[in-house]
Chains A and B, each alone.
Chain A
Amino acid sequence: MKILKNLLKSPMFIIGAGLFFGTLLIALIGPIVYNMTMDRVGAQYAAPGGGYLLGLDDLGRDYVSLLLSGLRSSLYVGFLAGIIATTIGTLIGIYGGFRGGLVDDLLNMMTNLFVVIPQLVILILISASLQEGRSLTLIGVIIGLTGWTWSARAVRAQASALKSKDHISLAKLNGDNTLRVLLVHILPYIFSYVFMVFIIQVASGILSESAISMIGLGPLDTVSLGTILNQAKNTGALGDGVWWAFMPATATITVIVFALYLLNTSMDGVFNPRLRK
């Protein structure tokens, strides 16, 4: 409760949370309030106005509907990738950091191996090899499976700092097994870090999805913010000055990722007392 109070004192947190929950709200209730349609409703690249706030795309579809649906897809991919990456990273990091010794060395080596393999290259290779059935969920899973390394490193460092604390020894003397020590006596202490890592993973998940969709390797089953950009690129909207084809999608991605980074930074200031003013 005290932490929440401290968080609410930080303007950065309020702006970040406001922006994030704002976009989340738009994504959730937008489709209910707004009459969404994916059908052709007018001429190619009709300018904004005339009943359609953000104009129409090259197939004459309404951009507001596309953006709402894209926003939902991007958030879905981000959270899916974030949950997968944070779970794997936390499990590997907490166990390695706590056990130490050979187990830790092996897990650390594996983490370092995954760190040096560039995530985007793997993503491009896997996406390119899957010509059919490249779904949004699959892309989220791939991003999660390739992006867990940073959470593992952050969590490992914290867990290994905690392992020699007295309350861990006492928990052992109480007869707690390793799983209980990890979940009850270590995880609560590093939960703030895990949560912060999770936020960064969600943000990088959204960015990664946009990046590979932008170059045409995105999901085939739905509209995402990245595929809107890809479509704009393919039809040459950028050169023709059709700003409503790429500006709103770019701005949406920027706003979500910016909000998440703000949240992360403001939490760092509260959870890490040394950074407190």
Chain B
Amino acid sequence: MQSNNIFTAVNSVCSFGHGKKLVRAVDDVTFHIADEEIVSIVGGSGCGKSVLAKMMLGLHYPSAGTFLYKDKPITDHCVHWREVQAVFQDPFSCFNQFFPIRNQLKAAFGIYKDKPSNKEMEERVDQALLAVNVKPSEVEGKYPFELSGGQMQRMLLARIFVLRPKVLIADEPTSMVDACVRANILDYLMKLKEELKMTIVFITHDIGLAYYVSNRIFIMHKGKIIEQGTPDEVTQSPKSEHTIQLLEDIPEINREWIKA
């Protein structure tokens, strides 16, 4: 029977170091993510959410437990990355500063076994740029450091439009940009989801943002998933004190936020 599970984790562990210095970045997590779902993984700094994202990308292997993509372990990276792609947190460090941005968008085709013709690649890059509201002429011959942070983040999204993956791992794609650009980026992400019927795993520290975009929310703390459920379940009736803490830490106008 073909299940519609994209990711399945059963008691997965990802640890670094050994002996006394052993750190369990991801500790005994069990979950599944279904096709076309938007799941947010929310947690504070150092809770292991980025490591979990890298496990989904196959950049880290589980040290124990099972971690499956479409009910199979991740073995061939190239095959995996044809379907699972990522947007990273810091757009400034994501591109090689020695090459024009357009060439690097085109380089994304390297993941395919049979590259499309040069003309088709150029066309798809043009379409991807237009999809994120950037005129191709604006970035023609430009190097990464010549673009603004918002533009760079959109370049990362354009890369996803170029590749059209089945699954997108978005590791804090909005943490480095201002609120206005953030709304834009979320807009493009939703557009991508509509167009490509993608599954999106959204990694963020902002539970408010997660509430608006996700079908389900996982709360992570110290490597463990301490709570999972629909946004309403998690925010209306939180069971864990860490979830309550995360909810309290959302700044609100007319409420004392930072207690002395």
Residues on A lying within 8 angstroms of B by beta carbon are: 165-167, 169-176, 184-185, 188-189
Contact = CB atoms under 8 A, between A and B. Distances in A.
Contact of A170 (B77, B88, B98): B88
Interface in B81-135: 81, 85-86, 88-90, 93-99, 107-108, 110-112
A211 B33 CA distance: 69
B59 interface: yes
Contacts of B86: 169-170, 173
A170 B81 CA distance: 11
A178 to B, nearest CB: 12
B57 interface: yes
Interface of B: 57, 59, 77-78, 81, 85-86, 88-90, 93-99, 107-108, 110-112
Nearest to B92: A166
Contacts of B88: 166, 169-170
Given A173-B111, A176-B110, 4 more contacts: A166-B88, A167-B96, A174-B111, A175-B78
B163 to A, nearest CB: 9
Given A165-B93, A166-B88, A166-B90, A174 B110 contact: yes
A185 B57 CA distance: 20
B81 A166 contact: no
5 contacts: A166-B89, A167-B95, A169-B59, A174-B107, A174-B111
Contact of B94 (A167, A172, A175, A176): A167
B231 to A, nearest CB: 29
A2 to B, nearest CB: 11
Contacts of A173: 57, 81, 85-86, 108, 111
A172 B59 contact: yes
A64 B108 CA distance: 60
B168 to A, nearest CB: 11
Contacts of A167: 93-96
Contacts of A188: 96, 98
Nearest to A191: B98
Contacts of B96: 167, 171, 184-185, 188
Contacts of A172: 59, 77, 81
A166 B93 contact: yes
7 tightest A-B contacts by CB? A175-B111, A175-B110, A188-B98, A166-B93, A166-B94, A166-B88, A174-B110
A174 B89 contact: no
B157 to A, nearest CB: 13
B95 A175 contact: no
A166 B88 CA distance: 7
A80 B110 CA distance: 37
B174 to A, nearest CB: 15
A184 B86 CA distance: 21
A176 B107 CA distance: 9
